[in-house]
Amino acid sequence: MEINHDKLNCIDKTSKTKCLSPHSKKKVNVRKTTYCRRPGLVYKNLIKNQNTIQTSQYFESTYDGQWIPPRSPYALIQEDLFHNPWQLLIATIFLTKVTAKLAIPKIHEFLLKWPTPEDVMNADPQDLLFSVKNLGLENTRVKTIKQFTADFLSKKWKYPIELYGIGKYGNDSYRLFCVNEWRIVQPDDILLSKYKNWLTLNEKQLGI
């Protein structure tokens, strides 16, 4: 199904800001980001070859069909990482108690250097500490990354809130972007709530 992004209803009822798609030429007051990538190579490649994710053990769900979350005007990093739950949850750890402007570049650098949980488990602790420099709570953040990753690899879990260091924000992100539970999740985070509201407003147009 080909989506006409210019016809999507992007009214943000919370902020009363009209968020147009990246294809629109109309200028409005939209949150600016210098780090978003839309439509995103990861997303485009997955659309072309959905078998790469249909066989993933992380996408077992009671819902029918494979969930590929639509790209939104909010350009959330979760939209790029939905195909890899460990990477998505790492991003939520980076985004805790820090602005996205500071965290996003660090997330990309981190995932380029350590793209898998096994890489993190074998990483030098000082290198990990350097990777979160200037984000605040550096030692706590590294401890959380290491223990969460160990749990991710060793525990039999259904939702990431069962893993060390993952709270409601990380759990809601997983349910919104990794599995098709966006209709029943009730996020507290402002941007996650906006994303869910956008899906609700555009459900028919998006074909979800």
Residues tagged active-site: 189
Handedness of CA 156, 157, 162, 167 (dihedral sign): positive
Q: Which value, in Å, is the radius of gyration of the alpha carbons in the chain? A: 17
Please give the backbone phi and psi of residue 96, each rounded to the nearest 5 degrees, phi first. -75, 125
Strand partners, 11: 18
Q: Are 74 and 31 in contact (CB under 8 A)?
A: yes
How many angstroms separate the CA atoms of 155 and 158, rounded? 10
Q: Are 198 and 15 in contact (CB under 8 A)?
A: no
